[in-house]
Structure 1
């Protein structure tokens, strides 16, 4: 996703647009800049909140598979009252997906993806007020109720309003890894979560659902450099607090973990990935910073023990 193109329709919710746009903008501060573009059928687009938004009226000629199209939602009492959209713009959505691109929506924007035929046979969601109507209007879609977002074959849909931020963080994590998504979330002062009704897939995100800046700074260091020894005194100095204070704050923010246990979770998670892709246990252990495979085997056994 080198470029993110937002397709705007009249009556859009400002936060449906601004939330994801801010997340992709913030990614640039961490070494992953995105070009943000705004396209609409008319140059001035009214918003539900009364602030007009200006956009271009033509799509980029060189949209590629690495680019993302996002359709923010709009304010209507019923999806049947949604603004009309020209057939050629629906064609752009279909063609972009057919070329391998990703298409996403926030809130009522899912209806536009449905009109383009992109929801047929795929899991999707929308704001809870219009989920049932979305299912009626697009009977071939698999509408998932009451989740923050869904992702199915490069069609990504989110619930309503602020969930567009969760959608953007998910896409950033999928593209650049959960550490980048966590950094963006921290900068935006939001929780780094994936889906409120599904378990976190990554230790980085699973233990980032807090707003403690001291702990985030330490986690940033651990996330980026978990393969080397990072003793508690070094971590405390990095955060500018005492070892005792860091231990207390870290445990409170992460549900009882010490920095060492968090680092071990990151190592095991990375080792599991390497093993799943053909590495031996010994090679994976060395790659993530263990002197030999004994500690890795012990920690893997501990994580798989249901007790």
Structure 2
């Protein structure tokens, strides 16, 4: 059982908490072993939207597989969220033991207080990026991205980006297909526009209305590491290969084969970022050999 521990700060935004909490709860409903816990420095936590929450003041025992997430709050960084020495130490200890810590929106300030952003890349809500950079010059603030991953420290932008963060963490642990199932249950296929290189490909190309293409993507998402002839995908969608290619290209801007290759490459990048060798990542994601994976990685911006 993996614990997902949310550290609640006064005046937190409900969606900063509810978005990732729903994602991990849905993943648990789909058969993954997640248990959600809530901790705070005081049992009652006021929220920005006026609904009080209750949390434990005792941290559970954590392992390296567990996650700690800090939702953001209303107000500037310095307001409402000066963490105690014990809370900062708990964040540091979890990361030092091999665990992952994450933040949504202003929650980056909590990680910065604990020193976890020193020397690491980070992001936060666009309205707070200048303040984060000024208060904590040791962190390298990345602008105009949904989330940033740096050595098991994951920071995300404003409010709803916490869902993107949670889906990324689920994809890293269980693969793109399972994260896509969670996203579909939450009805969050449509993503924001703009240059967001950290977005998952399984979500980036789901903002369309073609049921046929969604069915094709469901099959590719679930079996992206397998050999999937175009004819097999088309048959599963009750259309001809030519029609599928036309519909798929119109909806996503790429062919089914290119989409599958994109999923493979993204999953391989996740594996490599978490310590896998290129050869092992290539085998796990369905590449015939590591040379193809290396060539594709060399073309990445």
TM bracket (short chain): 0.7 to 0.9
Secondary structure of 1:16's match? helix
Could you say which residue in structure 1 is the equivalent of 2:220? 222
Could you say which residue in structure 1 is the equivalent of 2:164? 166
> Structure 2 unaligned runs (5+)?
none
Q: Is the 1:124–1:144 contact (alpha carbons within 8 Å) kept by the matching residues of 2?
A: yes
Of 172, 183, 189, 1:185 maps to 183
Distance 1:116 1:209, change over 3 A: same
TM-score norm. by structure 1 comes to 0.79
Residues 1:73 and 2:72 are matched in the alignment: yes
Q: Shift in Å at residue 164 of structure 1?
A: 0.8
Could you say which residue in structure 1 is the equivalent of 2:11? 11
Could you say which residue in structure 1 is the equivalent of 2:113? 115
Q: Shift in Å at residue 225 of structure 1?
A: 2.9
Q: Shift in Å at residue 93 of structure 1?
A: 0.5
State the alpha-carbon separation in 2 of the partners of residues 133 and 298 from structure 1.
43
CA RMSD, aligned part only? Answer: 3.8
State the alpha-carbon separation in 1 of the partners of residues 170 and 46 from structure 2.
29
Question: What per-residue deviation string (whole Å, max 9, x for no partner) do you get for residues 218-270 of structure 1?
Answer: 222223235245554x545644x54476555423222142x455456667888
* Correspondence list, 1:247-262, <5 A: 247-257=245-255, 259=256, 262=259
Q: Shift in Å at residue 139 of structure 1?
A: 2.2
Distance 1:175 1:196, change over 3 A: farther
Could you say which residue in structure 2 is the equivalent of 1:276? 278
Question: What per-residue deviation string (whole Å, max 9, x for no partner) do you get for residues 143-184 of structure 1?
Answer: 222221111111111111111111111211222222222222
Larger radius of gyration: 1
Distance 1:10 1:223, change over 3 A: same
Q: Which has the higher mean CA deviation after the structures are superposed, 187-196 or 132-141?
A: 187-196
* Correspondence list, 1:24-103, <5 A: 24-60=24-60, 62-76=61-75, 78-103=76-101
Q: Shift in Å at residue 199 of structure 1?
A: 3.5
Q: Is the 1:191–1:211 contact (alpha carbons within 8 Å) kept by the matching residues of 2?
A: no
Q: Is the 1:39–1:57 contact (alpha carbons within 8 Å) kept by the matching residues of 2?
A: yes
Q: Shift in Å at residue 210 of structure 1?
A: 3.9
Residues 1:145 and 2:147 are matched in the alignment: no
Q: Is the 2:2–2:35 contact (alpha carbons within 8 Å) kept by the matching residues of 1?
A: yes
Question: What per-residue deviation string (whole Å, max 9, x for no partner) do you get for residues 249-293 of structure 1?
Answer: 423222142x455456667888999993179x9xx6xx9498xx9
Q: Is the 1:66–1:101 contact (alpha carbons within 8 Å) kept by the matching residues of 2?
A: yes
Q: Which has the higher mean CA deviation after the structures are superposed, 67-76 or 187-196?
A: 187-196
